[in-house]
Structure 1
Amino acid sequence: MNVSIAAPLFDLDGYVQLFDLDPDGLLGFERRNNRIPTLDGKAAIPDFGYSDADRTLDIRWRARDRDVIENVRRLAKTYSRLIVATDEGCFLGAPGPFSLSGDEARIQILVEKRIDQ
């Protein structure tokens, strides 16, 4: 799976394409529901459906290119929102934690909304 990360405003270096990512961190989602125990020993489960805004994109890639890593770090530090394009769609989200350990880099994007629909 390939992922593109871009600045929301014009930026000469504000675009990064990441190749051959593990799709596991990009496919997960949750529904807007929770379970509330009732006095009769059962449970009430209100379900308010699905929203892309509840997703967190966990983007992990092999840290081979130092320039790519530094550009992703710069984008995450500079912009409060980033545009992320995946095979599933295009999303606007806030950069979450960034980490670099061994040969793997990782950034999380807290999705605000889907922008390709």
Structure 2
Amino acid sequence: MQGNLPPEAQEKIEELQDLQETAEQVARQKQQAESSLTEAQTALDELDDIDEDTTMYREVGELLVQTDYDDAADSLDEKVSSLEIRVETLEKQEERVQTQFEELQGELQEMLGGAGGGGPMGGAGGA
């Protein structure tokens, strides 16, 4: 079917495919960031229930290093803030990609002509 399409339409289809791949990548990154955020928030909540004198450790690469309560709380606060910003950024990127996708899809439909549709304002379509 694509062999019969004008070059401009083939180009738009390729752009749509690229945008779809980008959308999938952004969705995966957002899911990972949300998962990390939930994990960090849970750890921060648990920290509230821990006595400040309790011996704690944090992961540094392959090692567990002793840390104190304040350092652990500060580190988790910073991580939560950073991840909240990351999730927000990815949500905005996801929205931009979706908007681009919809615009490109509309352009492609117009390019392929109103033969298959009910025109630009034809919400009811034909029989």
TM-score range for the pair, normalised by the shorter chain length? under 0.3
Q: Which has the larger radius of gyration?
A: 2
More helix by share: 2
TM-score, with structure 2 as normaliser: 0.23
Higher RCO structure (Cα 8 Å, ≥6 apart): 2
More strand by share: 1
